[in-house]
Amino acid sequence: MVAEFDRREGWTDWGCRSCAHWLNWRCGLDLRAGREHVRMARSMENLPHIKGAFGRGELSYSKARALTRVATPESEEDLVAMAALPPPPTWRSWCGPTGERRGPMTWGR
């Protein structure tokens, strides 16, 4: 829903500068969290395995957020399978804040 709202620029009807600003105003998220929600929602449009697992509650928000930083359409299925194994702090350390891979992405094979 966030990705669609952003793509259609629904936030402009309210005089907001961005979807993140609208989320800040209407949902109480700070701007950084709002930008991250938009980034994650937009990323999941091209990552159906992550989107599906997150939608079914099989991935926590923390895991889905970390995975959307590094996943590609080719790697996401394996990453979703691996996400069931380690806790979220491990994934955050593997999937750095800028999206660079820092850890053993073949772990568990």
State residue 97's pLDDT score: 64
State residue 70's pLDDT score: 94
State residue 83's pLDDT score: 86
DSSP-derived 3-state class of residue 100: coil
pTM as predicted: 0.73
- 95, β-bridge pairs: 101
11: DSSP letter: G
SS (H, E, C) 58-87: CCCHHHHHHHHHHCCCCCHHHHHHHHCCCC
State residue 11's pLDDT score: 93
Splitting the chain (109 residues) into consecutive groups of 10 residues, what average pLDDT does each group show? 94 94 95 96 96 94 94 94 75 64 51
